[in-house]
């Protein structure tokens, strides 16, 4: 018995290896419209006494037996499912699909080209009359869309417009994002995505990923198979408990996996059909959301303990069973108490990566390596102080310690001693060891207790101050001035997202590191004072505009994870890597740091501009893949001779394809 391809029902009728959006067997015959028939039958006798429409899939044995429904004199097909005649309280089947209709084609985001369909394509694929007569280029479409998006004054409106475009015309969305990446990156990701997640229930129009809740426990493999694409290479998954610096947003956290995967494609060149956004919904402890009529998730307190662990384990097991050993699972915005445990639990059995712990660490280390060219000296000569000892803070600290260990051939236990962390209770010291969470214990050094950050700065005398606290404006004027008083060029990284949670602004960092320096000149007059502003090397997690002061423009950098994870993921995919190793993260950091030019340094930047991000991602991918081959973790053999060119050749192109006429 022949089984019908399920892709026909899910809006993905493309056939591998064909340049036509529909297979030859799916093309419409001139005499009649061929459809897959879902034959309804009525049953009665439910408890309410109402008639319920129930459909069964008619079995077909051969291509010739597919049911042909002749067109009526009115030009339409027979109302098989009773949609026009059913009353509002009756069930209807909403997913009958005409597989050869041009109307379906222009509603498939994977294949839709809008007004860029050529005359021949319109004739061949039954699009005549469904589009205005003009034919325009994709380049003109990009110009039109960017002009349209610029009309919106509110960032959330721009976000909604971009998500709408992604749902209508995938290739145009990515071409627009790639060509205007610096302008649109803050729209599709941080900081705007934070507001989008807070209001996700209100702006939700259509699902963009898989929602797996406690209701699906025991059926997760079946749920994964409901997704129309089977060749998945990257999954970004969140449980919504710690979205950026905004806290528990439950199912509204879906905006994060969607946004991350859009960047995997735009910046790293991973095919969109190979990307799967997932939200694990175990409830939320956010009372505001639980009382919000527009909330789209489970209305219950968060599941914890064994119930939570069993659901996550079923998910991870099903992912490996359905997609294989080499699918990359990126954990995103899990709370500390789950993030570290999940990474430790599955690192030896799955290809897993936590962007908050490992991606943030890699991008920050890259910035520090680049900053050494401005402050001189080696990494081991610096002293680091963190405000925040969660996923990001401890992850960055550990990768810095590993890099110093690698450079100096010193045990990592020793290199940790120059790295100090402050949490909500003050400086982490050995006298607090018994009360510390396990991931903080490596950073408990011998020192007297210190409660306030400014006192920790004065006592530790760091050359680098890093904020990962998730609490805004904690780098006060007193703190920044203390850093400036003991360092010629203090490195200040205010990394918390979104912008409102940044530890200090770029302008504050530059103005508060202004000092009055007495300058004695033998001109028969008294000494006078000169002003020196902006000695700080500043970087933030969310973007800040340039700061102009006394005729000079200062360009604050952004330690955006988007520099690392798209290229890192591409490197894993193209090499067929089966496990993530710390040395791969170090390789990614060193690769990114090497891309900063003298022109960038002259502007005070420690990261390259995003305009070159695809070249940067290809370079990172090559270095990550090379390390994977070196460690024996790559399975795609033989190793390509030029990994960087190979990475570029693997990248998805958003340019329109010509369909077979």
Report the catalytic residues: 189, 260
What DSSP string runs through 312-358? HHHHHHHHHHHH-TT-EEEE-S--HHHHHHHHHHHTTTSEEEEIIII
State yes or no: 497 annotated in a binding site.
yes
DSSP state, 50? Answer: -
| Residue 222, token pair as written in the block | 């079946």
How deeply is 467 buried, as exposed, middle or buried, from its count of CB atoms within 10 A (0-12, 13-18, 19+)?
A: buried
Range 43-49 contact pairs with CB under 8 angstroms and sequence separation of 24 or more: none
Residue 405 C-alpha from the chain's centroid = 30
Q: What does the alpha-carbon distance between residue 307 and residue 9 come to, in Å, rounded to a whole number?
A: 34
For residue 630 the two structure tokens come to 């070196």
Q: 78 φ, ψ to 5°?
A: -60, 145
Known binding residue 489? Answer is no
* Phi-psi domain of 324 (left: phi exceeds 0; alpha: psi -120 through 50; beta: other): left
Helical axes 565-575 vs 613-631, angle rounded to 10°: 50
Question: For residue 656, what is the DSSP state?
Answer: P
Q: Quickly count: other Cβ atoms within 10 Å of residue 71's Cβ.
A: 12
Query: Binding site annotation covers 333?
Result: yes
455 is in an annotated binding site: no
Helix/strand/coil for 212: strand
Rounded-to-integer distance, Cα 382 and Cα 404, Å: 10
Residue 84 is assigned to a ligand binding site? no
Long-range contacts of 200-203 (CB under 8 A, 24+ apart): 200/249, 200/251, 200/252, 200/253, 200/254, 200/255, 200/296, 201/252, 201/289, 201/292, 201/294, 201/295, 201/296, 202/294, 203/156, 203/160
Q: Look at residues 513, 518, 520, 501 and name the one whose alpha carbon lies nearest to residue 549.
A: 513
Give the DSSP H/E element, type plus range, for residue 149. Answer: helix 138-150
Q: Who's near 108: CB < 8 A, 6+ residues apart?
A: 11, 12, 13, 21
Residue 189 dihedral angles phi and psi, to the nearest 5°: -135, -155
Residue whose structure tokens are 């120059």: 418
| Measured CA angle at 661 (ends 121, 129), to 5 deg | 30
User: 82: which DSSP letter?
Assistant: -
- Three-state SS across 377-397? CCHHHCCEEEECCCHHHHHHH
Among candidate residues 230, 252, 232, 224, the one with its CA nearest the CA of residue 240: 252
Q: Does an H or E element contain 195, and which?
A: helix 192-198
Helix (H, G, I), strand (E, B) or coil at 13: coil
Alpha helices by DSSP H, listed for 353-490, are 360-375, 391-408, 412-415, 453-460, 477-486
What is the C-alpha to C-alpha distance for residues 518 and 527, in angstroms, rounded to an integer?
A: 7
Helix (H) or strand (E) holding 510: helix 506-512
**Dihedral of alpha carbons 531, 535, 541, 545, sign:** positive
CB 404 within 8 A of CB 410: yes
Are residues 387 and 465 in contact, defined by beta-carbon separation less than 8 angstroms? yes
Name the residue among 494, 486, 402 with its Cα closest to residue 442: 402
Q: Is 355 flagged in the annotation as binding?
A: no
- Name the helix (H) or strand (E) containing 25: none
Binding residues: 242, 332-333, 356, 497, 560
Q: Which residues are annotated as part of the binding site for (S)-malate?
A: 242, 497, 560
Which residues sit in the known binding site for a divalent metal cation? 332-333, 356
């Amino acid at each position: 018995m022949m089984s019908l391809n399920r892709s026909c029902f899910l809006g993905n009728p493309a056939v591998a290896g064909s340049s036509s959006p529909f297979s030859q067997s799916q093309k419409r015959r001139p005499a009649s419209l061929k459809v897959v028939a879902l034959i309804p039958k009525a049953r009665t006798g439910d408890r309410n006494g109402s008639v319920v429409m129930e459909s069964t899939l008619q079995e077909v044995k051969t291509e010739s037996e597919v049911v042909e429904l002749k067109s009526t004199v009115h030009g339409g097909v027979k109302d098989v499912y009773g949609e026009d005649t059913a009353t509002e309280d009756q069930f209807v089947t909403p997913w009958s699909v005409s597989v050869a209709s041009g109307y379906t084609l222009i509603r498939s985001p994977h294949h839709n080209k809008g007004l860029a369909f050529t005359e021949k394509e319109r004739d061949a694929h039954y699009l005549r009359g469904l589009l205005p007569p003009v034919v325009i280029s994709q380049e003109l479409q990009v110009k039109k869309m960017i002009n349209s998006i610029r009309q919106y004054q509110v960032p959330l409106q721009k976000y909604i417009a971009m998500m709408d475009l992604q749902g209508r015309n995938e290739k145009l969305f990515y071409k627009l994002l790639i060509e205007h990446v610096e302008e649109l990156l803050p729209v599709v990701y941080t900081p705007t995505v934070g507001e989008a997640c807070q209001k996700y229930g209100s702006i939700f129009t259509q699902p963009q990923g898989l929602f797996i809740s406690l209701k699906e426990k025991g059926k997760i493999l079946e749920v994964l198979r409901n997704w129309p694409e089977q060749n998945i290479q990257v999954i970004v998954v969140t449980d919504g408990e710690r979205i950026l610096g905004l806290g528990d947003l439950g199912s509204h956290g879906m905006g994060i996996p969607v946004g991350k995967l859009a960047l995997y494609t735009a910046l790293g060149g991973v095919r969109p059909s190979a990307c799967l956004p997932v939200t694990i919904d175990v409830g939320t402890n956010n009372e505001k959301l639980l009382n919000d009529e527009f909330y789209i998730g489970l209305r219950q307190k968060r599941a914890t303990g064994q119930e939570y662990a069993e659901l996550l384990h079923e998910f991870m097991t099903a992912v490996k069973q359905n997609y294989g050993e080499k699918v990359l699972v990126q954990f995103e915005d899990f709370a500390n108490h789950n993030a570290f445990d999940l990474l430790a639990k599955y690192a030896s059995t799955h290809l897993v990566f936590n962007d908050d712990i490992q991606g943030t660490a890699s991008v920050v280390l890259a910035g520090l390596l680049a900053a050494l060219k401005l402050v001189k000296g080696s990494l081991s000569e610096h002293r680091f102080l963190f405000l925040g000892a969660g996923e990001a803070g401890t992850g960055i600290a550990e990768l810095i310690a590993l890099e110093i260990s690698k450079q100096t051939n010193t045990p990592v236990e020793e290199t940790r001693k120059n790295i100090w962390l402050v949490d909500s209770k003050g400086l982490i010291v050995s006298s607090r060891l018994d009360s510390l969470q396990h991931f903080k214990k490596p950073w408990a050094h011998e020192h007297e207790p210190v409660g306030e950050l400014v006192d920790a700065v004065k006592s530790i005398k760091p050359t680098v101050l890093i904020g990962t606290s998730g609490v805004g404006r904690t780098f006060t004027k007193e703190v920044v001035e203390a850093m400036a008083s003991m360092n010629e060029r203090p490195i200040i990284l205010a990394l918390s997202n979104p912008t409102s949670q940044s530890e200090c602004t770029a302008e504050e960092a530059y103005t508060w590191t202004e000092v009055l320096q007495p300058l004695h000149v033998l001109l028969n007059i008294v000494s006078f004072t000169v002003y020196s502003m902006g000695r700080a090397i500043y970087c933030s997690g969310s973007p800040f505009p340039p700061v102009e002061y006394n005729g000079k423009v200062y360009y604050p950098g952004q330690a955006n994870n988007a520099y690392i994870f798209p290229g890192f993921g591409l490197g894993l995919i193209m090499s067929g890597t089966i496990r993530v190793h710390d040395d791969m993260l170090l390789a990614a950091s060193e690769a990114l740091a090497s891309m900063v030019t003298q022109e960038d340094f002259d502007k005070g930047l420690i990261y390259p501009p995003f305009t070159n991000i695809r070249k940067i991602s290809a370079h990172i991918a090559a270095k990550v893949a090379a390390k994977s081959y070196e460690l024996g973790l790559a399975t795609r053999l033989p190793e390509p001779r030029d990994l960087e060119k190979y990475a570029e050749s693997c990248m998805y192109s958003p340019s329109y394809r010509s369909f077979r006429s």
